[in-house]
Structure 1
Amino acid sequence: MDDRREPSLLFLTDEQLKKGIEAMYFAYRGFTADPDRILEKYGYGRAHHRALHFIHRTPGTNVNNLLAILSVTKQSLNRVLRTLIEDGLVDSRVGTRDKRERNMYLTEKGQALEAELAEAQRARMRAAYRDAGPEAVQGFRQVLEAMMDPDMRRHFNTLKDPD
């Protein structure tokens, strides 16, 4: 399939764009509400969730890769990782190629929490996708990808599609 698209004229008013922005805010609140309730039981926040997600998606990832994906400070990421390691959710191993590097893996406990969080979000997305229909799903993904900064799009494209 040819990825080159014919430019199409799409005229949106400022009011329509504001509505889209507001929809993104409220959708994000809904998308994070279920995991937030789960995380609260453990005393974790969204940074912990994101770390668990991307360690799950890229087992063996290192701190520098997580820093690039999450766009947080090293101090902030270290605080999150330290907690996850101390609580037995993440295993930090010495790098095989570079002994200074630390590679992160989820433990069984970490995999269980990540699966619980992911299922909550999948259930919400599955219901929304079912209600919106297949064309809307494709269009939504195109809009999201178009909104990504080029560096983030590169990270996104390096993630392998699950199963």
Structure 2
Amino acid sequence: MADGPGNPATSESLLFLTDEQLRKGIEAMFFAYRGFTADPDRILGELGYGRAHHRAVHFIHRSPGTTVNNLLSILGVTKQSLNRVLRTLIEDGLVESRVGRQDRRERHLFLTEAGTKLERRLSDAQRDRMRHAFRQAGPDAVIGFRTVLEAMMDPELRHRYTALKEGS
């Protein structure tokens, strides 16, 4: 990032960002997200799925046995929207829904073998892109990038993220 034409940004100058510098950061985030989702979108499109399917598969993989209510909370979508996504994933043999042992009203979600293969394909594409970007940027940038992302999270989402991160 440059502070001005040809002048590298100093850490001190980054503490007082102009609206123009912030706009450039916002635009970089938009384009980076577009790149980050491009490969999974292509894979999902071949299967007739969208990003909501990807997010569901990702978080079910991340927390096998998670409940529908927990997934609703993580994804921040409506119950109707999630049910539509889950119904498709279950019908297509990618997700299995099991009745809770202690509370029979709960539904616990697990990826099937086919679901695990799809998740791996999607995450491999994103890991490859991130690995390449992180190698280009260097270790200090990786730490800084993660710090910025965490600082942008709403407190409740940061709490969920931290819980997932600690469960690794």
Question: Can you list the C-alpha shifts for 1:62-99, whole angstroms capped at 9, x where unaligned?
Answer: 11111111010000000000000000000000011110
Cα 1:156–1:62 change in 2 (3 A) is same
The TM-score, its normalising length taken from structure 2, stands at 0.90
Matched residue, 1:18: 23
- Within a 5 Å distance, the mapping from 1:32-43 to structure 2 comes to 32-43=37-48
Q: Which has the higher contact order (CA 8 A, sep 6+)?
A: 1
Q: Give the CA deviation at 1:21.
A: 0.2
Tell me how far apart the structure 2 counterparts of residues 101 and 47 of structure 1 sit (CA, whole Å): 21
Deviates more, 1:81-90 or 1:153-162: 153-162
Aligned pair partner of 2:140 in 119, 135, 142: 135
Q: Give the CA deviation at 1:116.
A: 0.2
Moved over 2 A (4+): 160-163
Q: Give the CA deviation at 1:152.
A: 0.6
Give unmatched runs, 5+ long, in structure 1: 1-7
Cα 1:160–1:144 change in 2 (3 A) is closer
Question: Can you list the C-alpha shifts for 1:114-153, whole angstroms capped at 9, x where unaligned?
Answer: 0000000000000000000000000000000000001111
Aligned residues: 156
Deviates more, 1:55-64 or 1:8-17: 8-17
Tell me how far apart the structure 1 counterparts of residues 105 and 165 of structure 2 sit (CA, whole Å): 27
Tell me how far apart the structure 2 counterparts of residues 124 and 103 of structure 1 sit (CA, whole Å): 31
Question: Can you list the C-alpha shifts for 1:12-46, whole angstroms capped at 9, x where unaligned?
Answer: 00000000000000000000000000001100000
**One-letter amino acid of the counterpart of residue 10, structure 1:** L
Tell me how far apart the structure 1 counterparts of residues 86 and 21 of structure 2 sit (CA, whole Å): 41
Matched residue, 2:92: 87
Aligned pair partner of 2:61 in 45, 48, 56: 56
Tell me how far apart the structure 2 counterparts of residues 19 and 141 of structure 1 sit (CA, whole Å): 18
Aligned pair partner of 1:30 in 17, 35, 39: 35
**One-letter amino acid of the counterpart of residue 64, structure 2:** P
Matched residue, 2:8: none
Greater C-alpha radius of gyration:
2
Q: How much is the aligned-residue C-alpha RMSD, in angstroms?
A: 1.3
Tell me how far apart the structure 2 counterparts of residues 136 and 87 of structure 1 sit (CA, whole Å): 40
Q: Give the CA deviation at 1:160.
A: 3.9
Tell me how far apart the structure 2 counterparts of residues 155 and 147 of structure 1 sit (CA, whole Å): 14
**One-letter amino acid of the counterpart of residue 141, structure 1:** R
